[in-house]
A and B are shown apart, each in its own frame.
Chain A
Amino acid sequence: SYDLTQPPSVSVSPGQTASITCSGDKLGDKYASWYQQKPGQSPVLVIYQDDKRPSGIPERFSGSNSGNTATLTISGTQAMDEADYYCQAWDSSTVVFGGGTKLTVL
């Protein structure tokens, strides 16, 4: 089975840039999506097709995918960005989610 690996936690100071990675074998040959989930809420799509932002998602959210790593970057991180983030990809007719990263803004 295909695995996506994320760091369990990432910390960032307000106004700084946060980078959350997602690693998988030849992930750059696939498409990555990213979801934000705040406590007690449903996940929300923040990046799709590696680097596309859905309508309504702030421009400070961006994505990239190359080699074995996809990266979600949040520029000028705000307190409201504190949440769990999950990457997701498609492999062999299966949807795969990463284990999730807790982003702390402190």
Chain B
Amino acid sequence: QVQLQESGPGLVKPSETLSLTCTVSDYSISSGYYWGWIRQPPGKGLEWIGSIYHSGSTYYNPSLKSRVTISVDTSKNQFSLNLSSVTAADTAVYYCAREFRDCSGTRCRNWFGPWGQGTLVTVSS
């Protein structure tokens, strides 16, 4: 049963870079699938941040693209999120999840599961 676990600082100062890592257990990232980051501000809905394929191909939310970098380290079976120039609006629970995606032309079927337990990141001085 694949498991995902987020790790990283729970407090980040405004204008600095938020960095999180997701460690995957009982499944090799190199075997396939996409791997994604999703966040949820307190009391609000889900927002997709971006996803990465094991080969390193990335897809980002256009609204965050200028500040986001997602990378993968297959030797450690981990993938990471960097979000730069953070503000209080970036305060959220950050989840990592495995993403199944299959595209035929421009039509894609995709879904996320399983998800990590999530980690709260607060942006505050």
Chain A contacts for B45, CB-based, 8 A:
86, 97-100
Take A93-B59, A95-B36, A97-B47 as given contacts and tell me if A54 and B108 are in contact as well, using a CB distance cutoff of 8 Å: no
Complex Cα distance A31/B109, Å? 5
Q: B110's contact among A43, A54, A90, by CB below 8 Å, is which?
A: A90
A contacts with B, residue count (CB < 8 A): 25
A88 contacts B107, C-beta separation under 8 Å: no
Cross-chain contact of A97 among B48, B107, B114, B118 (Cβ < 8 A)? B48
Contact present for A42 and B46 (CB under 8 Å): no
Contact A95 B115 (CB under 8 A): no
Chain B 84-103 per-residue mask, 1 if CB under 8 angstroms from chain A, else 0: 00000000000100011100
Instruction: Identify the closest chain A residue to B96 (Cβ).
Output: A42
Residue-by-residue, is A15-53 near B (CB-CB < 8 Å gives 1, otherwise 0)? 000000000000001110101000000111100110000
- Pick from B62, B63, B95: contact of A42, CB below 8 A: B95
Whether the pair A42, B59 counts as a contact (CB closer than 8 A) is no
Interface residues of A in 68-106 (CB under 8 A from B): 86, 88, 90, 92-100
Q: For B101, B115, B118, which residue has the most chain A Cβ atoms within 10 angstroms?
A: B115
Closest 4 CB pairs of A and B: A45-B113, A95-B48, A31-B109, A33-B111
20 more A-B contacts (CB under 8 A) besides A45-B112, A45-B114?
A1-B63, A31-B107, A31-B108, A31-B109, A42-B115, A43-B95, A43-B115, A44-B113, A44-B115, A48-B111, A49-B109, A49-B111, A54-B113, A88-B46, A90-B101, A93-B59, A95-B36, A95-B110, A97-B48, A100-B46
Return 18 A-B CB contacts under 8 Å, by A number. Answer: A1-B62, A1-B63, A31-B109, A33-B112, A43-B95, A48-B109, A48-B111, A48-B113, A49-B111, A88-B111, A90-B108, A93-B59, A94-B61, A94-B62, A95-B36, A95-B48, A95-B61, A100-B46
